[in-house]
Amino acid sequence: MATLSRDEIAACLGDAGYIADPELATAISIMQLLKRPLLLEGEAGVGKTEVAKALAAVHGTELIRLQCYEGLDQSAALYEWNYQHQLLAIQAHPGRTPADIEERIFSEKYLLERPLLAAIRRQTPPVLLIDEVDRADEEFEAFLLELLSDWQVSIPELGTITASAIPHVVLTSNGTRELSDALRRRCLYHYVDYPEVDREARIIMARLPKAGAVLSLQIARMVEKIRKEDLRKVPGVAETLDWAAALVGLDVADLHDRPEIVHETLMCLLKTHEDKMRFKPEVTERLLGKVA
C-alpha cells in the first residue's frame, strides 16, 4: 500500500471504526513513510490497542499481538520447541545416532512460532502489536530493541532468520514504568489522551449508529463530567461504548427523560466499589444537570 496522507489515513481508520485525531493520523502517516515503530502512550482505556486493530483492517493484513507482562522472556515471545512431539519422535526412531536425532527434531516441523518470530516470517507485512510494553522487564526491552533495529533473530539450531517483510509495529504503554531512552528514540511517539466530547460522540455513532447524534453527544458530555470527578478508575472509551450500548438497548433516546436509568446503568462506567459508592443519585443528578 502506498503511503497515505494524514487525511487519507483518518478516513481509512474511520471506515474501520476508529475516529482518529489529526495528530494520530499524522503519526501513522509518518510511521508508514519511514517504516518506523509507533509508540502509543496513555492511560488504560483510551483506545491505544484499537489503533493497531484498525490499522490491520486498513491494510487488510493480519494482526499479531504480543501481550507483555512481568517476567516475559524471549522464548515466550519468539519461539519454543515442541518438546512433547520431539520426545515422541525420538521414541519412534530408536537406534539412530545422536547427530541424526538432533537434525531430525530441531527442524521447522517442531518449531513453535511465538508472536515476534511469526511477525518477521510473514510474506505480507502484518501489524505487530506489542501491548503494554512497560509491563515487561528491562532485559526484555533490550532484546526487543535489538529486534526492532535489525529485524532478524538467531535460533541456534536453525541459524539467523531475517524478516521477509518489515511489519507495521505498534507499541503501547500505560506508563507504569519509564521506558528506556533507546527504545523511545527507535520509535515515533504519540500520546493518546481521552477524546474530546465531539470526537467521543463520533466514536459512539461510528460503533453504535442506533444511538443517534443527540444521545451520542449527551453520553459524551456526561462521560466528560464523570471523568473530572475524583475517581479511582477513570472510565475509558470502551466503558463509554458499553454504557451507550446499554442505554440504546433500554430504548433511552434522551438522558434527561430517563434519569433513573442513567444512574442505574453507571455500572458500565464505574469499576470499583469506592467509585460506585461515591456516585449517589444526587451526584448523577448534579452532573446530568450540566449536560445540554
List, for residues 57-105, the tens digit of each pLDDT value.
999 999 999 999 999 988 889 988 777 777 777 776 666 666 666 666 7
- Radius of gyration of the chain from Cα atoms? 24
Instruction: Check if the beta carbon of residue 32 is closer than 8 Å to that of residue 3.
Output: yes
CA distance linking residue 100 with residue 251, whole number of Å: 69
**DSSP 8-state class, residue 135:** G
Query: Per DSSP, which regions of the chain are E strands?
Result: 38-41, 63-67, 79-81, 111-113, 127-131, 152-155, 159-162, 168-173, 188-191
Q: Residue 158 — pLDDT band, cuts 50, 70, 90?
A: confident
Tell me the residue type at 5: S
The reported pTM is 0.86
Q: What is the pLDDT of residue 117?
A: 93
Say which range, 9-23, 38-52, 66-80, 100-114, has the weakest mean pLDDT: 100-114
Which ranges of 48-193 would DSSP assign to H, the alpha helix? 48-59, 74-77, 83-92, 98-105, 115-121, 138-150, 181-186
Q: Residue 127 — pLDDT band, cuts 50, 70, 90?
A: very high
In 137-156, which positions are buried (b, 16+ CB within 10 angstroms) versus exposed (e)? eeebbebbbebbeebebeee
Q: Residue 248 — pLDDT band, cuts 50, 70, 90?
A: very high
For the chain, give the percent of residues with pLDDT over 70.
93
Identify how many contiguous H helices and E strands the chain contains and give both numbers. Answer: 15, 9
Which long-range contacts (C-beta less than 8 Å, at least 24 apart) are formed by 148-152?
148/37, 148/186, 148/187, 149/186, 151/120, 152/120
In 114-132, which positions are buried (b, 16+ CB within 10 angstroms) versus exposed (e)? bbbbbbbebeebbbbbbbb
CA distance linking residue 112 with residue 81, whole number of Å: 6
Mean pLDDT across the chain: 91
Is it the case that residue 181 has pLDDT exceeding 90? yes
Q: Report the alpha-carbon angle 72-78-80, nearest 5.
A: 95
Q: What is the pLDDT of residue 102?
A: 66
Burial class (CB in 10 A: 0-12, 13-18, 19+), 60: exposed
Q: What is the pLDDT of residue 5?
A: 84
Q: What is the pLDDT of residue 174?
A: 95
More confident residue, 92 or 237: 237
